[in-house]
Amino acid sequence: MSKLQIIDLHVSVEGKEILKGVNLEMNTNEFHVIMGPNGTGKSTLAATIMGHYKYEVTKGQILLDGEDVLSMSVDERSRKGLFLAMQYPSEIEGVTNSEFIKTAMQARLGEGERISLFKFIKALEGATSELKMNPDLPHRYVNVGFSGGEKKRNEILQLKILKPKFAILDEIDSGLDVDALRIVGENVNDMKSENFGALVITHYERLLDYIKPDFTHVLMNGQIVRSGGLDLMEKIDQEGYDWLKEELGITTQPEKIKAVSIGTCAVKQTIGK
């Protein structure tokens, strides 16, 4: 049994504050879902937990079983049991998926311990077939030439093999068709145990047909404004967020989009001359 605590977390990106005091506590054997309108900081929360270099924590704490996560490097967080399934996984030319996954498995072992090749192949082949992935995928370069859906499945493949305590799934459902969504959802759902919990970030309720959440949280304006169970999720799915905004007296400001007129640059240059 493990515990992940997020306490009064404030996070800025390029000087702009995105998270303004997030509080969240979760245990293994629990699935939490975070919903919320676009641009409210869901992905920021996910990336910050993992330690992405772009996000600056200005205040607050993240604790994993009481240990200070924020003082850990990205790789330490991973080895301590955190996992981020990314919305846009990187492509690595020249490195095969299996080589990458094997190195990641090896990184979890103590000094002098070697991963058994037999165990590795068994784990890889097992997970590949459970995710109904193309069997040649492990031998291809990491995410290179993968379709959107293949990339997402590849994230879940790593999740299944690396077996973290907590997984953060950042919009893992985008780019998946109905069948893939079911396969991915069921695979994650089956992992739920005393040793595994997940924080699921999503726009769509459909993924949650397969990943059954225990708790629902709504993130708005950089804070968790409401937490509840399945009923909260269903209400949002049916009615959207307006009722909640009204109740809380929140006016979310849509991103200011600057108007771009095509040809301006050229015109300016001509005038400048």
Footprint of another protein on this chain (CB under 8 A)?
A: 50-53, 73-75, 77-79, 83-84, 86, 89-95, 99-101, 103-104, 107-108, 141, 158, 162
Torsion on CA atoms 230, 236, 239, 243, rounded to nearest 10: 110
**DSSP 8-state assignment for residue 40:** S
Whichever of 199 and 244 has its CB closer to another protein, that residue is 199
The least distance separating another protein from the CB of residue 175, rounded to whole angstroms, comes to 17
The string of DSSP codes covering 4-33 is: EEEEEEEEEETTEEEEEEEEEEEETT-EEE
Q: How many whole angstroms separate alpha carbon 57 and alpha carbon 47?
A: 11
The least distance separating another protein from the CB of residue 31, rounded to whole angstroms, comes to 21
Q: How many whole angstroms separate alpha carbon 31 and alpha carbon 25?
A: 11
Q: How many whole angstroms separate alpha carbon 189 and alpha carbon 25?
A: 20
Whichever of 105 and 184 has its CB closer to another protein, that residue is 105
Find the DSSP H helices in 82-147: 97-107, 117-130
The least distance separating another protein from the CB of residue 79, rounded to whole angstroms, comes to 5
Q: How many whole angstroms separate alpha carbon 73 and alpha carbon 50?
A: 9
The least distance separating another protein from the CB of residue 235, rounded to whole angstroms, comes to 34
Whichever of 83 and 241 has its CB closer to another protein, that residue is 83
The least distance separating another protein from the CB of residue 177, rounded to whole angstroms, comes to 24
Secondary structure E strands in 93-249 = 166-170, 197-201, 215-220, 223-228
For 51: left if phi > 0, alpha if psi spans -120 to 50, otherwise beta; the answer is left
Whichever of 26 and 162 has its CB closer to another protein, that residue is 162
Whichever of 37 and 138 has its CB closer to another protein, that residue is 138
Token pair 């995105």 is found at 18
Whichever of 110 and 254 has its CB closer to another protein, that residue is 110
The least distance separating another protein from the CB of residue 73, rounded to whole angstroms, comes to 7
